[in-house]
Structure 1
Amino acid sequence: MPDLHPFGGRMSRHFGRSLAPEDAYLSYYDVRLTREDISVLKNDWLTDNVIAFWEEYLEHEYLTNFKHSHIILLRPTMSFMLMQTPDPRTIKDALPDFTNVSHIFLPINDNHSVTVAEGGTHWSLLLVSIVDGVAFHYDSMPPGNQQEAHFVTQKLSKLINKPLRFIQLQDSPLQDNSSDCGVFVCLNMRHLLLKRLLMVRTDSKVSMSLGGRVVDASAGRKEMLRIIDDFRREGERRRSTSHSPHPGRKSRSPPRIDSPRSRES
């Protein structure tokens, strides 16, 4: 089995770290990707920022087209906060409104210390079906984050005041190295969202098993990089055709995508 911790925890970024303009690579709605994020996306552990971008991407490019869906993609920072807070009801106002929500996707990290900004060595995916009262855990290197995912499930159950049954899925696709866990989270999240949940009615039964599914992490990394670079080029194009108050001055801010119109040709 590969060593999971050759470089220690490297999946979260320094909270509160100052970010120089030249470090920023792309602003996509509420996420600002850095050159560090792009570097690790090529062949290393994914930062929480990359996973947050992927969730923003799925929301704005796909989920918004399904007006009647009630699905939430919870950001990694929110999942971490939910796990660390003794009483989740005290942070209810900081979390999305889960009223009428059918499903919640939660990236799970094994960092247990709020003082270690770059803690954690493994990502997994928790999919909670509130309508069924079941939490499905997908881990590409089991048992991995089973304890953390179960703990988050208990916190969420307390928050929504509804019992949730935790299921550790034994047939989840497995990674063959120590660095692809975050990529598996992103690709499995997209598959479950687009090929399962959004393909059926909310009250219909759908299999949550990923048994037999093959995940090509290398191709997934390349696809994610291509998507980001496409947005970056589009952001640059939009900026070049906009009316700047300082013509001729090169902007130090990164290309930005903040509305569907930003992708118009």
Structure 2
Amino acid sequence: MSRIKDRVRRHFGDNLAPDDAYLSYYDVRLTKLDVDSIKNDWLTDNAIAFWQEYLEREHLSNHPRAKIILLRPTMAFMLRTSPDLSIVADALPDLRSATHIFLPINDNSDVTQASGGSHWSLLLVSLIDGVAFSYDSLHSSNYESARDTAEKLEQLVGRKLKFLALNEAPQQENGSDCGVFVCLNMKHLLLKRLLKYDANEKVAMSVDDRDIRASEGRKEMLRIVEERRREGERRRS
């Protein structure tokens, strides 16, 4: 019986240390800490990066003509905080060729801690419209961070962007669901808006009609993690 319990614990990662690998998914390595954050905590950079990787690999890849970029949290942070944009530009994809760019925004101001901060919001830049849409689930907590990122992006793409904070964005009910709201809004805007229309059409970007249930979002993210983990185990067996 103890052997069975040990196998069950290993399957669910109960014996793993926080920094131990839980899932390798293309370019993302999720640790036990990352997965625990999806369960009931403030999402780590890596947890959000996994979600972006999933959307790219399993949804966006089905639309090869789409020119949509999902910029990773570390890249968005580097863009906002770097004093030398020429260095940042070398590390980024070709943003000027995109129609839309998704950026997870963190309120971290300490450049020595790339995974710091206490709040996530979403910035969606439509280069077609020349507008940077900010979705903040905690009123306008990330207003300055999002606006500063948009201003840096203006310099990289060589055009003026109108910054628009969507105050009607769905609001979280606690202090830890902000990253989940970012992931769910990103999925909705990508799959239900941008990929449903021609790449050069203007698309309504409001999400005020959405009823976001963070607990269900966490379950969905965990389900996808566990499914990909089981797939990896089957391939190795």
- Aligned-residue CA RMSD (Å): 1.5
Q: Is the 8 A contact 1:127 1:135 kept in 2?
A: yes
- The equivalent position to 1:75 in structure 2, one of 72, 75, 78, is 72
Alignment match, 2:226? 229
Mapping of 1:86-125 within 5 angstroms? 86-125=83-122
Alignment match, 1:198? 195
Name the % identity: 62
Aligned residues: 222
For 1:73-114, what per-residue CA distance to the aligned partner results, in whole angstroms no more than 9, with x for missing partners?
A: 000000000011123233211001123210000000000111
Report the structure, 1 or 2, having the larger helix content: 2
Alignment match, 1:6? none
DSSP-derived class of the 2:173 partner: coil
What is the rounded CA distance, in whole Å, between the counterparts of 2:143 and 2:156 in structure 1? Answer: 20
**Letter aligned with residue 100 of structure 2:** H
Consecutive aligned runs of 4 or more in structure 1 exceeding 4 Å deviation: 19-22
What is the rounded CA distance, in whole Å, between the counterparts of 1:54 and 1:210 in structure 2? Answer: 19
For 1:36-89, what per-residue CA distance to the aligned partner results, in whole angstroms no more than 9, with x for missing partners?
A: 111111111000000000000000000000011000000000000001112323
DSSP-derived class of the 1:166 partner: strand
What is the rounded CA distance, in whole Å, between the counterparts of 1:216 and 1:235 in structure 2? Answer: 29
**Letter aligned with residue 94 of structure 2:** D
What is the rounded CA distance, in whole Å, between the counterparts of 2:18 and 2:109 in structure 1? Answer: 31
Range moving further from structure 2, 143-152 or 91-100: 91-100
Range moving further from structure 2, 111-120 or 196-205: 111-120
Higher RCO (C-alpha 8 Å, min separation 6)? 1
Alignment match, 2:63? 66
Gapped regions of structure 1 (runs ≥ 5): 1-18, 241-265
Alignment match, 1:246? none
What is the rounded CA distance, in whole Å, between the counterparts of 1:21 and 1:76 in structure 2? Answer: 20
From the superposition, tell whether residues 89 and 22 of structure 1 become closer, same or farther in structure 2 (CA, over 3 Å).
closer
Q: Is the 8 A contact 2:41 2:176 kept in 1?
A: yes
Mapping of 1:241-256 within 5 angstroms? none
Alignment match, 2:152? 155
What is the rounded CA distance, in whole Å, between the counterparts of 1:143 and 1:167 in structure 2? Answer: 11
- The equivalent position to 2:54 in structure 1, one of 28, 53, 57, is 57
Alignment match, 2:208? 211
**Letter aligned with residue 181 of structure 1:** C
**Letter aligned with residue 64 of structure 1:** S
1:188 aligns with 2:194: no
Alignment match, 2:13? none
From the superposition, tell whether residues 237 and 70 of structure 1 become closer, same or farther in structure 2 (CA, over 3 Å).
same
TM-score, L = length of structure 2: 0.91
Gapped regions of structure 2 (runs ≥ 5): 1-15
From the superposition, tell whether residues 21 and 215 of structure 1 become closer, same or farther in structure 2 (CA, over 3 Å).
closer
From the superposition, tell whether residues 205 and 33 of structure 1 become closer, same or farther in structure 2 (CA, over 3 Å).
same
Q: Is the 8 A contact 1:87 1:155 kept in 2?
A: no
- 1:170 CA displacement: 1.1
- The equivalent position to 1:38 in structure 2, one of 31, 35, 39, is 35
1:238 aligns with 2:235: yes
Q: Is the 8 A contact 2:104 2:122 kept in 1?
A: yes
For 1:15-52, what per-residue CA distance to the aligned partner results, in whole angstroms no more than 9, with x for missing partners?
A: xxxx9898100000000001111111111100000000
Range moving further from structure 2, 197-206 or 222-231: 197-206
- 1:117 CA displacement: 4.5
